[in-house]
Amino acid sequence: MKSYDIIVVGSGLAGLYCALLASRYGNVLVLTKAQLEDCNTYHAQGGIAAALGPSDSTELHVADTLAAGAGLGDPAAIRILVETGRRAVRDLIELGVPFDRENGEVVFTTEGAHSRARILHAGGDATGKNVEISLARVVRENPRISIREHCEARTLLVRNGRVVGVRAFDRATGDAGEFEGAAVVMATGGIGQLFSQTTNPDVATGDGIALAFRAGADVADLEFVQFHPTALAVPGAPRFLISEAVRGVGGILRNGAGERFVLRYDPRGELAPRDVVARAIFFEAQRRGEPCAYLDVTEMGVDFFRRRFPTIAHACARYGIDVAREPIPVAPAAHYLMGGIRTNTWGETTLPGLYAVGECACTGVHGANRLASNSLLEAVAFAARIAQRQFERVDDHCGRQGIDHVPEDDLKDDLCIEVGAGRAGSAPPLAKATLRDLTWTLAGLTRNREGLEKLESISAAWQFSMDEGEGGRDEECRNLVLLARLLATAALRREESRGAHYRTDFPQPVPAWQRRIVLHASDGMRKENR
Ligand SMILES: Cc1cc2nc3c(=O)[nH]c(=O)nc-3n(C[C@H](O)[C@H](O)[C@H](O)COP(=O)(O)OP(=O)(O)OC[C@H]3O[C@@H](n4cnc5c(N)ncnc54)[C@H](O)[C@@H]3O)c2cc1C
């Protein structure tokens, strides 16, 4: 079995930045299930938030992030996000990420619910691509980092209650292999593929969260899925993202009659938080019996639009939309998971030896809703914290087993729920498409008890049948089934509406629910799910 100081699973921004910093203190293996650049990060458009501008401050960025989180954001973690993140963004600039500049200075733009212009972007609306390519280049050149592409992590190896490595499947050769690591960092991204309507690429199947949960790590806030208001809504086309930044510089949402409607739902209009705008589009389309809303970019000037958003303009043209003459059809789609593997502010999970970072982690910074462009920031901020922790471990000569696992940032008053193994029950034949349609319909933008109970019981039955038949199973599908069940369990229990979680049977926030839901696998579930 090959042995490393640190194994990083995933090669988006969180994984690559963590690998890069950690390589200063040890040898690193990066496992990734497709090509290095296949990840959510590559698709990020709007940019990365950092309180670096002249009129900005830590306090303002913290306040905006807390407000977006609808009472569930963790203030201590948010302060670390803003302060450590700002340093990490400076580091990205030094590493050569080509952020857009004017007169030699990096420019900042604004996005919904940010009180200052603090979003750095690159290539106009190709921020993620530029960030990912820049980091991939540096990581590839680093002799202390080994990379295994097309290598899918399938199980965490646990010995005496500690994660000691990863069992993985090489998609290119069909071989299984085991890799030993003193620390294993999950950086596997989000769960967008759980929904039939999503902006996320194929790799976003929540593997890391499912693996960690089965191994015994706590997961939290899984009911909070952000639905982006404006994904391209052309029948048959992928749900390509039309960035928030388009509304930030004057894009206007209209209904089928050409009326600007969002102000009727919220006085902040197009720049209200994402969940508010997404529901406004959903309810307006429902009220008028229309399939989508329409984003009008003519007021900002079509030439400006094409210059500032070349990727979006190109995608519109590809699907036959001439933005000079017609608005862009848009509808909400699953975009981002606020929850994930529960960590403290050092990226440590509740399972010793296991760390989590980026979208698969739940550091508590997003609470019930994420502020736009804070996720790339979270990826670098907490990757830096994990690397720093590795440095401290090496530096104090205690040996890696000698450092206690420190859950110092635990929130109080969490509601902890134990989830048991799958249950036999009636369910339609399992197919990924059926699962994704069901999750979109029953646990999407709006939810209620009946729908969530149905999803929970169907996914528990599918889980039962999949865990029974070990051979030849589709691991991504198995992970999605588990995530559907966990999401339904948490969303069912949260009898209120808060942030991105909206229950039609409990449409208001309830003060008593200002607490997080933490899920933990029962002993039976852990035994059966190895
Ligand atoms: C269209 C779009 C636009 C966005 N725009 C913005 C934006 O402007 N600003 C912003 O802050 N955020 C944005 N986001 C969100 C942001 O891009 C992501 O949250 C962030 O990039 C996540 O980074 P990550 O490194 O955690 O995960 P990812 O970048 O998704 O990387 C996950 C990696 O894990 C790998 N992986 C998964 N499972 C396994 C496995 N079993 N074994 C091995 N490898 C595995 C994947 O292949 C991938 O390499 C956007 C997201 C999308 C989809």
Give the pLDDT of residue 419: 96
Q: Which residues contact residue 376 at a Cβ distance below 8 angstroms, ignoring those fewer than 6 apart?
A: 13, 41, 44, 47, 48, 49, 127, 128, 131
Give the pLDDT of residue 524: 74
Residue 397 has pLDDT above 60, yes or no: no
In the chain, what are the domains? 227-333 (3.90.700.10), 412-528 (1.20.58.100)
According to DSSP H, which parts of 69-198 are helical? 75-95, 127-141
Best substitution site from 30, 31, 41 to test ligand 1's pocket, by max atoms within 8 Å of Cβ? Answer: 41
In the numeric block, which tokens belong to residue 29?
């293996």
- Averaged over 130-138, what is the pLDDT? 98
Give the pLDDT of residue 525: 72
Question: Whole-angstrom Cα distance, residue 271 to residue 406?
Answer: 39
Residue range 483-514, pLDDT digits in tens = 999 999 999 999 999 999 999 999 999 999 99
For the chain, report the end-to-end CA distance as a whole number of angstroms: 19
Nearest by Cα to 515 from 378, 364, 349: 364
Best substitution site from 226, 375, 386, 477 to test ligand 1's pocket, by max atoms within 8 Å of Cβ? Answer: 375
Q: How far is the CA of 337 from the centre of ligand 1 (A)?
A: 10
Residue pair 30/8 in contact (Cβ under 8 Å)? The answer is yes
Question: Which ligand 1 atom minimizes the distance to the CA of 245?
Answer: 8
Residue pair 29/8 in contact (Cβ under 8 Å)? The answer is yes
Q: How far is the CA of 335 from the centre of ligand 1 (A)?
A: 10
Q: Tell me the whole-structure pTM to 2 decimals.
A: 0.95
Q: For atom 21 of ligand 1, which residue has the closest CA?
A: 41
Give the pLDDT of residue 469: 61
Question: Whole-angstrom Cα distance, residue 175 to residue 426?
Answer: 35
Task: Say what angle helices 374-395 and 13-22 make with each other, to 10 degrees.
Answer: 20
Q: For atom 13 of ligand 1, which residue has the closest CA?
A: 44
Question: What is the DSSP code (8-state) at residue 198?
Answer: B
Residue pair 372/114 in contact (Cβ under 8 Å)? The answer is yes
Residue 274 pLDDT class (50, 70, 90 cuts): confident
Residue 447 has pLDDT above 80, yes or no: yes
Residue range 161-204, pLDDT digits in tens = 999 999 999 999 999 999 999 999 999 999 999 999 999 999 99
Residue 457 pLDDT class (50, 70, 90 cuts): very high
Strands 119-120 and 48-49: antiparallel
More confident call, 524 vs 427:
427
Active site residue 274: yes
Q: How far is the CA of 31 from the centre of ligand 1 (A)?
A: 15
Residue 292 has pLDDT above 90, yes or no: yes
Q: How far is the CA of 504 from the centre of ligand 1 (A)?
A: 30
Element (H, E) at 336: strand 328-337
Give the pLDDT of residue 530: 53
Give the pLDDT of residue 399: 37
Residue range 405-433, pLDDT digits in tens = 444 444 458 999 999 999 999 999 999 99
Q: Which residues contact residue 475 at a Cβ distance below 8 angstroms, ignoring those fewer than 6 apart?
A: 152, 154, 169, 207
Rg (CA), the chain: 22
Q: Residue for token digits 């996005």? A: 111
Amino acid at 494: R
Question: Whole-angstrom Cα distance, residue 226 to residue 359?
Answer: 12
